[in-house]
Amino acid sequence: MQSRTCLVTGAGRGIGRAVALRLSGAGHRVALTARDERALNAVAAELPGAALVVPADITEPGSVDRVVDRIEQHWGPVEVLVANAGAGSSAPLARTGDEDWQRMLDLNLTAPFRCLRRTLPAMTANGWGRVVVVASTAARVGEPYIAAYTASKHGVLGLVRAAASEVVRKGVTVNAVCPGYVDTPMTEATIATICAHTGRDPDSVRKTLADKQPLGRLIDPDEVAVAVLSFVDNPAITGQALNIDGGGVQS
């Protein structure tokens, strides 16, 4: 495949970092965005190919437009979008406040929507594009105490399917990966929250989360990145959601 211009959101750590490394290793130009400029610079220094650091909080109105404007000024239109930025929250539904609910929707659903809205026109005009959204197994099944997170991830999977249907004849594919518990800072934050509420020790909580995957361990970020790259390479797959959870959700 020829070198493409890529944008990875939430690229400063975890899955985003792993995806950026895989894309760069495959010969693509990779623009990195997240709020933490220092983390982005560290990832950029690891990439073997061209990198562009564009710090931003993509939940802010207009920020996605500014990020893509800067990429276009340097390299031209975004050809591969990996909408990875996301966060979780945990609380019983009855104790989930409006602010927490909105925060989950803003980052996990509205931000990917804005990224697609901004990048799809150039992809369809050029007759080639790839979009991969990092969703979650929470987009496929419901679990207790993560109502806001689950709703946002179910929503983004609907967005993926609708967008894929719109652009299927225009050389653009739109897909999602649905990881289980991945060995990332986000999972570490989940472990810390559970420990704070239950008094359990971190090792036992980590084992509980690992055991949710029939594989018996946390998923490695690079295992998600490999799946993302497979969607970039294959023009015949669109509107799909691939579970990466060691067999926990079979579909």
Read off the pLDDT band of 6 (50, 70, 90). very high
User: What pLDDT is recorded for position 141?
Assistant: 95
Query: For 124-158, what is each residue's pLDDT tens digit?
Result: 999 999 999 999 999 999 989 999 999 999 999 99
> In whole angstroms, what is the distance from residue 58 CA to residue 33 CA?
8
User: What pLDDT is recorded for position 238?
Assistant: 98
Tell me phi and psi for residue 91, to 5 degrees: -175, 150
User: What pLDDT is recorded for position 149?
Assistant: 96
pLDDT at 197 exceeding the cut of 80? no
Instruction: Tell me the mean pLDDT in the region 66-85.
Output: 98
User: What pLDDT is recorded for position 184?
Assistant: 81
Encoded amino acid at 72, one letter: E
Mean per-residue pLDDT over the chain, rounded: 94
Has domain 5-180+220-244 been given CATH number 3.30.160.20?
A: no
Report the candidate in 131, 149, 132, 129 with the shortest Cα–Cα distance to residue 140. 149
Is-catalytic flag, 149?
yes
Active-site entry in 75, 128, 149, 181: 149
Query: For 239-249, what is each residue's pLDDT tens digit?
Result: 999 999 999 89
Can you give the residue ranges of every domain in the chain?
5-180+220-244, 183-218
Is residue 244 a contact partner of residue 223, using CB atoms and an 8 Å limit? yes
Q: Which of 49-58, 80-89, 115-124 has the lowest mean pLDDT?
A: 80-89
Return the structure tokens found at 13.
Answer: 């750590």
pLDDT at 88 exceeding the cut of 80? yes
Write a three-state SS string for the chain: CCCCEEEEECCCCHHHHHHHHHHHHCCCEEEEECCCHHHHHHHHHHCCCCEEECCCCCCCCCHHHHHHHHHHHHHCCCCEEEECCCCCCCECHHHCCHHHHHHHHHHHHHHHHHHHHHHHHHHHHHCCEEEEEECCHHHCCCCCCEHHHHHHHHHHHHHHHHHHHHHCCCCEEEEEEEECCECCHHHHHHHHHHHHHHCCCHHHHHHHHHHCCCCCCCECHHHHHHHHHHHHHCCCCCCCEEEECCCCCCC
pLDDT at 50 exceeding the cut of 90? yes
User: What pLDDT is recorded for position 166?
Assistant: 98
Q: Which of 15-19, 149-153, 183-187 has the lowest mean pLDDT?
A: 183-187
User: What pLDDT is recorded for position 211?
Assistant: 85
Instruction: Tell me the mean pLDDT in the region 193-213.
Output: 83
User: What pLDDT is recorded for position 91?
Assistant: 87
> In whole angstroms, what is the distance from residue 132 CA to residue 119 CA?
12
In which residue are the tokens 């004849």 written? 169
